[in-house]
Chain A
Amino acid sequence: MPSDRDSERDPIEADAALVARVGAGDSAACRSLMDTHLGRIHGFAWRMLGDAGDAEDVAQEAFLRLWRQAARWRAEARVGTWLHRVAHNLCVDRLRKRRGDSGDQPPDLADPAPGPAAERHRAQVARSVEAALARLPERQRAAIALVHYQELGNIEAADIMGVSVEAMESLLSRGRRGLRESLAGMRDDLMGDMQ
């Protein structure tokens, strides 16, 4: 029966074998990695940056770094963890640059598409959630994006952000409290709508 340590190593070794194929020029391995991770990395970057174009730039750069790293990849982490870490760092760099350029204004979010009233209302609430997320401090937003939306474990999320598990839990608590306060007005309204 394999030990816990073995069961943790197997996915890392499997990822390493796939990345080795990328390093050897195997396009099918590239596609396989993109099928698994591209949507998630793009989604994470979008949560962090609030802009689909910027999110695509970050996702592209993260994968290009993986291609460049592939030939000397070492089986030390899951590819998904590595990609999230790179994307997180790229997002933090962009957010710092934005702060320098424009004082950290939250991005403009697209207006909800027209449609039936209930659908339009849900879309408006979704935009409000995104606006509330965008107003959170960067580290709280990253913590919520990684644990709630990316559904990563607290240890993996803490590793990606370079903080302790306790600090991650504190960021999550403060972030969710901020969201709760921002969305207090619409919570009862929406919950009534959905029942």
Chain B
Amino acid sequence: MTGNRSKSMDLARLREIFDAYGADPRRWPGAERAAAEALIANSPEAASLREDAAALDTLMDLSVAPAPSPELMARILANHEPAGWFAALWPFGPVWQPVSAMAFAAVLGVVIGAAAPDIVIPDLGDSAIAEVESLAFGPALNLDNGL
């Protein structure tokens, strides 16, 4: 048990500790434990308050949580897959998820590639290319005419 703050220990603070943490010093804030125990040792009133808190602790401790079933451990272990190099790259969930996604993408690529029509680039010839360039950039200058 731990606790960082260090308050001055008096009966009022001790009562707060009992109210919150009960009578067992193991549950008290670590920084206040020694001072609390010293006060209890020297104050009959503090000891009485502690007995009151201990009575509630005793009632609470009658409730014992059941143990998990043996099947639970087996189920959890069964879900631990030995990690390979891929699991180190994909620690976000079952490895089959990204593997399936990549396999699907690969198959889809092959199918699309096989089904697509062949693309034939027609031979336009020099005159057609010159016409397209003329439309795009304007008529070419002819320096041979002395302009």
A residues apposed to B, CB below 8 Å: 22-25, 27, 30-31, 34, 38-39, 42-44, 46-47, 52, 55-56, 59-60, 63-64, 67-72, 122, 125-126, 129-130, 133, 144, 147-149, 151, 153-156, 165, 169-170, 172-173, 176-177, 179-180, 183, 186-187, 190-191, 194
Stretch of B39-47, B52-60, B103-111 lying at the A interface: B52-60
Q: A70-B91, A173-B16, A176-B19 are in contact. Are A126 and B1 (CB under 8 A)?
A: no
Measured CA separation A25–B83 after assembly (Å): 5
B55 proximity list for chain A (CB < 8 A) = 187, 191
B92 proximity list for chain A (CB < 8 A) = 68
Instruction: Please tell me if the beta carbons of A155 and B3 are within 8 angstroms of each other in the complex.
Output: yes
Partner of B67, one of A39, A47, A60, A173: A39
Q: In terms of DSSP, what is the predominant structure of the interface of chain A?
A: helix
Scan B73-113; emit 1 where CB is below 8 A from any A CB, else 0: 10111011111100110011100000000000000000000
Partner of A129, one of B62, B77, B87: B62
Measured CA separation A149–B67 after assembly (Å): 14
Number of A-B contacts (CB under 8 A): 140
Measured CA separation A164–B60 after assembly (Å): 25
Q: A126-B63, A148-B22 are in contact. Are A30 and B56 (CB under 8 A)?
A: no
Partner of A165, one of B3, B19, B62, B83: B3
Instruction: Please tell me if the beta carbons of B73 and A34 are within 8 angstroms of each other in the complex.
Output: yes
